[in-house]
Amino acid sequence: MTGVKGFRRRRIRPLARAKRFVDVVPELVAAVDAGRPHAVQDLCVVLVNVVTHDGLAERALDALASGRPTLWLDLDPMMRHPWYGYSGPVPRGRVSVVREPANPLAVALRACSPDGHRREQAVRDAVMRTDPRLLPVLLIRAADWVEEVRAAALETLALVLTEVATSDLLSLVPVAVRLGDRRRGGCALASVRSALVRADDETLATMRDCADLRARRFAYEISLDRDRLPESDLMAAALSEADVVSRIRCAEAISRMDRPDLLARLLAARSARVRAVALTGLVRLGRPEHGSRFLGDPSTVTRLTAQWAVRRAGGDPAHIYRRLLAGRPGPEVRNLIAGLADCGGGADADLVRPYLADPRPRVRAEAVRTLHRLGAPMDLIALLGDPSPVVVRRAAAALRDSGVPADRLWPLLDTTRPRHVRQAAHRLLSGADDWTRLKADLTLVGDADASLRRRARDDLAAWRENKAPTLYTKPPEPLGDELAALIDVAETSLGPGGAAELRWFLSQ
C-alpha cells in the first residue's frame, strides 16, 4: 500500500507516525479481506508501529475485530515470519518494542511471536481470558506446533469457553473449522464443537445462517448429529439452503424419519440430489409410483433414480419413454431422449432419428448424443455443419470416439464456414496423427479470424516443442509437398526462423 510505504520512507516523530498509521488500519483490513497481495504485510507493519501507544492500539484492535473472523489466520504466519519478510526492512530493535506494552494488541502480537516461550507467556496472560477480540488468536495457538504452547492455549481456551458469549462463539467457529484441517488442530476444533453443542438452539440457528460457508456447514452437522433441528427448519433447509452439502444432509435426515408426507414435499425441490434422495426414500417406504413423474427430469441422477423406481413398481421405463416420444412431447422432449439413452437399445434409433431435424438446438444435440450412445449409425460429418455450436460440439465428441475421417474434414476449414464449424474441424484434425495436425495448424496460422489464428499458433507451438523432436520419419507423399507449400504461404505469419525450422523437420 503506497501510504504505508510512504510512512516508512519519511521521518516523522513516533507518536505522529503511529497516529497516521492507525488511520489506515480499516482500509488494510478490508484489503486483506478482499485478498489483495501484500496487504497482510502492510497491516503487520502498521500494527507493530501502533502497539506501543495504548489508545491507538485499542483503535487498531477494534478495526481488526471488525474484519472477517479468519483474519488472524492470515496475520499469524506473517507476524511469525522474520521481520525482513515485510516489504521494507524493520530494525531488529523494533521487535523488543512489541514485547514491552501490556495492552491487548501487544498480547496478541506476542502470541504470534516466532519465540515459543513468548507465545506461551501470551496465552497465559489474563487479558486472553477477558478480551473477546483475542479469542481467534488464542484458538490458533491451541493448534500450535509446540506442545507446551498448545497445552497452555487449550487450558485457557477451556476456561473461556465455559461462559463464552454467543457473538464471540460465532466468531470462533470459522477459525476452528479451518484449524481442523491442520495436523494439530483437532483439539482446538473439538473444544469449539463442545461449546457449540452446549449452546442454546437460538445460537445454533444463528450459526446456520452465518455468511461463512464452512462454519454454516459445521453448524448443520452438529444440529443434525444432535437432532436439534426443528422439523420446519429441517424442511426449509432441504428445500432452499444455499450450501448443497448441508441441503443434501437435511434431505437425508428427512428420509431417515420414514415420513412419506415430508418426502413427497421434497420432490418439488430445485436441487436434483434432493429430489433423488426423496424419491429413493419413497421407494424404500413402498411408494415407487412417484417414479414415472420424474422420467423426464432434467437431472441425470434424478432420472436414473426414477427409472429404478419404475422398475421397482413392475414397469419398464424404456417402454414409457418410447410411448412418450412417439407422441411428440413438448418442452421435456430433450430429457426423454436422454432417458431413452439410459435404458433403451439400438432398435430405438428410428424413434430418435427424427429429432435430428428438430428446430430446437439442444434437442438436436441430445438426439446426437443418444444415437451415439445407442450405437446407431449417423452422418456425423454432416452434423458438424449444424448452425448451432451445441450440436456441433456433440457431433465432434462422437467423432472423437468413433474415429476422425480427415479427408471429409478439410472442407470444413474453409473461410465460408461459420467459426464454430471451423473450430470443431480444427480440433478434430489436430487430434489426429502428427502430420495431419501440422497441416491443420498451417492452414489456419495466418487466418483472418483472430480466434482461430491464435488457436492454430498455440497448437503449432506445442507441436514444435513436444511432437516434432520425436518424429523420425518424413511425412508420406503427397502430404509432404502440401506441407511445404503451406509453409511457404504461412511464412509471413511464422517468420523466417519458424518457417526454416519446419522445413528442416520435413527434410529429416
What are the CA-CA distances from residue 445 to residues 407, 476, 499 (Å)?
20, 22, 12
Domain boundary among 114, 146, 174: 114
Give the model's confidence band at 148: pLDDT under 50 very low, under 70 low, under 90 confident, else very high.
very high
Q: In this model, does residue 9 exceed pLDDT 70? A: no
Mean per-residue pLDDT, 376-402: 92
Question: Between 149 and 501, whose confidence is greater?
Answer: 149
- Top mean pLDDT of 39-43, 216-220, 326-330 is at 216-220
Q: Is residue 335 included in any domain, yes or no?
A: no
Query: What whole-number percentage of the chain has pLDDT above 90?
Result: 68
Phi, psi angles (nearest 5°) of residue 273: -65, -35
Q: Is residue 200 included in any domain, yes or no?
A: no
**DSSP classification of residue 291:** G
d(CA 108, CA 86): 19
pTM of the model: 0.79
Average pLDDT score, the chain: 89
Give the model's confidence band at 4: pLDDT under 50 very low, under 70 low, under 90 confident, else very high.
low
Total number of domains in the chain: 2
pLDDT confidence of residue 96:
39
d(CA 468, CA 196): 62
Q: In this model, does residue 15 exceed pLDDT 80? A: no
Q: Is residue 22 included in any domain, yes or no?
A: yes
pLDDT confidence of residue 13:
56
Q: What is the 3-state secondary structure (H, E, C) of 332-363?
A: CHHHHHHHHHHHCCHHHHHHHHHHHHCCCHHH
Q: In this model, does residue 496 exceed pLDDT 90? A: no
Express each pLDDT in 45-93 by its tens digit.
889 888 888 899 999 999 999 999 899 999 998 887 754 233 333 333 3
Express each pLDDT in 83-142 by its tens digit.
423 333 333 334 333 346 789 999 999 999 888 999 999 999 999 999 999 999 999 999
Which residues form the domain of 1? 1-114
Domain boundary among 84, 114, 144: 114
Find cell 527434410 and name the residue: 507
pLDDT confidence of residue 82:
59
Q: Which long-range contacts (CB under 8 A, 24 or more apart) does 162-165 make?
A: 164/132, 164/135, 164/195, 165/132
Q: Is residue 3 included in any domain, yes or no?
A: yes
Query: What whole-number percentage of the chain has pLDDT above 70?
Result: 93
Mean per-residue pLDDT, 135-163: 95
pLDDT confidence of residue 117:
92
pLDDT confidence of residue 416:
93
Q: In this model, does residue 213 exceed pLDDT 60? A: yes
Express each pLDDT in 221-264 by its tens digit.
999 999 999 999 999 999 999 999 999 999 999 999 999 999 99
Mean per-residue pLDDT, 182-197: 95
Q: Is residue 38 included in any domain, yes or no?
A: yes
Listed range (5-19, 127-141, 293-307) with the worst mean pLDDT:
5-19
> How many Å is the maximal CA-CA distance in the chain?
89
Mean per-residue pLDDT, 168-194: 94
Express each pLDDT in 263-291 by its tens digit.
999 999 999 999 999 999 999 999 999 99
Domain boundary among 87, 114, 141: 114
Q: Is residue 463 included in any domain, yes or no?
A: yes
Who's near 239: CB < 8 A, 6+ residues apart? 247, 265, 266, 268, 269, 270, 274
Q: In this model, does residue 455 exceed pLDDT 60? A: yes
Q: Which amino acid is at 301?
A: V
pLDDT confidence of residue 406:
84
Task: Answer for the pair 271, 248: CB distance below 8 angstroms, yes or no.
Answer: yes
Mean per-residue pLDDT, 426-439: 90
d(CA 476, CA 129): 81
Q: Is residue 394 included in any domain, yes or no?
A: no
pLDDT confidence of residue 94:
40
Q: Is residue 306 included in any domain, yes or no?
A: no
d(CA 206, CA 165): 13
Q: In this model, does residue 194 exceed pLDDT 90? A: yes
Report CA torsion sign: 461, 467, 470, 471. negative
pLDDT confidence of residue 442:
93
Q: In this model, does residue 18 exceed pLDDT 80? A: no
Listed range (2-6, 100-104, 193-197, 356-360) with the worst mean pLDDT:
2-6
